[in-house]
Amino acid sequence: MKHAALHHTVLSLFESGNQTASPFAKTNERPLAEEFPLRVLLAEDNAVNQKVAIRFMERLGYRVDTVVNGLEAVTAVESRRYDLVLMDLQMPEMDGLEASRRIRKLPLSPQPKIVALTANAMQGDRELCLAAGMDDYVSKPVKIHEISAAIRRQFGEPVPSAPQTIG
């Protein structure tokens, strides 16, 4: 399959018949971003994986800043406060494990939560991620419910919704 065809196929998975409809219009669910308002950084060098992750995060209600390698991720975290970093492991210039180690050494309070997004699903990979300072691990191909579950695990109780008045 050619790259362009694969790209089109992946993006078409996220398109709906009605482009203006909210992804939450069919249910009474609030977007996850309303429950957990977070500033998010995505560190991913693969353009298709980046677009898929951005689409998922947008469907959850988030805007995402992106970088394409671990060195850029460290620089971004140094210059702006992030609550969550979604970190690919295999990137040029600096991999996600080293970037996570360096982020953990920064004098930040609070430190961002770092969730690995990786194709490495071998025995011991999760432990390597945790040892490098990552907080959670999601295997590729990433699914939206797995990202949502990782956010819920890392950030605990959601921000309460505004009380509904009956009047």
Q: What is the 3-state secondary structure (H, E, C) of 117-159?
A: EECCCCCCHHHHHHHCCCCEEEECCCCHHHHHHHHHHHHCCCC
pLDDT at 27: 44
* Tens digit of each residue's pLDDT (9 = 90 or more) over 131-147: 999 999 999 889 999 99
Q: Average pLDDT, stretch 90-118?
A: 96
| 100: containing domain | 32-155
User: Would you say residue 70 lies in a domain?
Assistant: yes
User: Would you say residue 88 lies in a domain?
Assistant: yes
DSSP bridge pairs for 113? 84
Provide the mean pLDDT of the chain: 83
pLDDT at 160: 59
Number of domains, the chain: 1
User: Would you say residue 40 lies in a domain?
Assistant: yes
- Global pTM exceeds 0.85: no
Q: At residue 164, does pLDDT exceed 80?
A: no
User: Would you say residue 9 lies in a domain?
Assistant: no
CATH number at residue 57: 3.40.50.2300
Q: Average pLDDT, stretch 156-167?
A: 58
